[in-house]
């Protein structure tokens, strides 16, 4: 549990789902952060803190988030970023995603999407 009684139900569900999928999630200001270990690319094997805006997951799991929050040090050859609703030191990256394969839980599908995006990060700090 997040320990925040005013956390919207969908946000708490996201935290619970991500934690059950193996990515312990926690609230940090306007964001929910969780750790991911990429399985390919320049960041393979490194733990990368990532997240989503609490305001963006108000319909979780029916509507998945669009933006992926990452530390400013994680770089990509091409991406669209901004700093809205991000924890300090983070930027969010615009990534199209739809939960189409209902044979796996939504949180596991989301984690696969995030790992896939991280696999195209360019060499640098994590």
Q: What is the pLDDT of residue 90?
A: 96
Q: What is the pLDDT of residue 98?
A: 84
Nearest to 11 by CA among 55, 43, 51: 55
Q: Are 42 and 124 in contact (CB under 8 A)?
A: yes
Q: Where are the domains of the chain?
A: 9-122
Q: What is the pLDDT of residue 5?
A: 52
Tens-digit pLDDT string for the chain (126 aa): 444 558 889 999 999 999 999 999 999 999 999 999 998 999 999 999 999 999 999 999 999 999 999 999 999 999 999 999 999 999 999 999 888 788 999 999 999 999 999 999 997 654
What is the Cα–Cα distance from 61 to 76, expressed in whole angstroms?
A: 27
What is the Cα–Cα distance from 89 to 38, expressed in whole angstroms?
A: 20
What is the Cα–Cα distance from 38 to 48, expressed in whole angstroms?
A: 8
What is the Cα–Cα distance from 85 to 117, expressed in whole angstroms?
A: 20
Q: What is the pLDDT of residue 2?
A: 41
């Amino acid at each position: 549990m997040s320990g925040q009684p005013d956390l919207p139900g969908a946000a708490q569900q996201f935290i619970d789902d991500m934690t059950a999928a193996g990515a312990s999630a926690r609230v940090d200001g306007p964001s929910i952060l969780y750790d991911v270990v990429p399985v390919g690319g320049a960041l393979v094997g490194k733990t990368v803190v990532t997240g989503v805006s609490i305001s963006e997951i108000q319909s979780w799991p029916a509507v998945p988030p669009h933006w992926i929050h990452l530390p400013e040090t994680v770089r990509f050859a091409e991406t669209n970023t901004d700093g809205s609703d991000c924890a300090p030191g983070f930027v969010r990256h615009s990534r199209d995603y739809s939960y189409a394969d209902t044979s796996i839980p939504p949180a596991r599908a989301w984690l696969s999407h995030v790992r896939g995006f991280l696999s195209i990060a360019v060499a640098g700090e994590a």
